[in-house]
A and B are shown apart, each in its own frame.
Chain A
Amino acid sequence: AQTVTQSQPEMSVQEAETVTLSCTYDTSESDYYLFWYKQPPSRQMILVIRQEAYKQQNATENRFSVNFQKAAKSFSLKISDSQLGDAAMYFCAYRGLNSGGSNYKLTFGKGTLLTVNP
């Protein structure tokens, strides 16, 4: 079974600074997707960024970028120029593509609570 580990329960960053959230995963599959979701205090889950495992190029969405290291099974999220609105719980998630009937499920890490200090 796949597992996703977020080793930082909490992180903090100063406004306008850069912060990196860590995520590692364990899988025997070769083809899969990885995601970062954001959950602000409203508790609405919002997709931040996604990465296809077959792509070597790291995904980027405006101030958000990932460092995807397939061999190390690592998928960190970098937030540049942090803003107060970035304060939220961030979840790393894995979706396998080789698992037959169960290949639609997402496996989530336990989350990292990010605080942005003004």
Chain B
Amino acid sequence: DGGITQSPKYLFRKEGQNVTLSCEQNLNHDAMYWYRQDPGQGLRLIYYSQIVNDFQKGDIAEGYSVSREKKESFPLTVTSAQKNPTAFYLCASSYSSGSFYEQYFGPGTRLTVT
């Protein structure tokens, strides 16, 4: 089955610790994205990557870091510098050319930092 997997579904961390959220896709998509969802805020873009070994900051990149060493994988690290890390995180992917512009989403990871 083709799709996007995010693990784990729920993640708990103590304040001051870095934590890495996993995102893997087998859709052969070039582009991958990380969004943060808070109640009443919709989805906000954290980082995106159009090709391997390249990524750009989105609208709320402060306190986050990413890597794109493989086409299939785009892990997100929430660092201790992120002031309000508790949120629902969604990973997405898409083709980067042609007419297929829609993004496909993973099931999300709920991160709680106490």
- A105 touching B33 by the CB < 8 A rule? yes
B41 within 8 Å of A (CB atoms): yes
Q: Does A47 contact B (CB under 8 A)?
A: yes
Number of A-B contacts (CB under 8 A): 50
Asked if A95 and B101 make an inter-chain contact with CB atoms under 8 angstroms apart, the answer reads: yes
The CA of A44 and the CA of B103, in the complex, are separated in Å by: 13
Chain B interface SS verdict (over half): strand
Size bin of chain A's contact surface? 20 to 34
- A–B Cβ pairs within 8 angstroms, 16 of them: A42-B107, A43-B108, A44-B107, A44-B108, A45-B92, A91-B42, A95-B101, A97-B101, A101-B50, A101-B56, A104-B31, A104-B48, A105-B48, A105-B58, A106-B103, A110-B40
Q: List B residues at the A interface (Cβ < 8 Å).
A: 31, 33, 40-45, 48, 50, 56, 58, 88, 90, 92, 94, 96, 101-105, 107-108
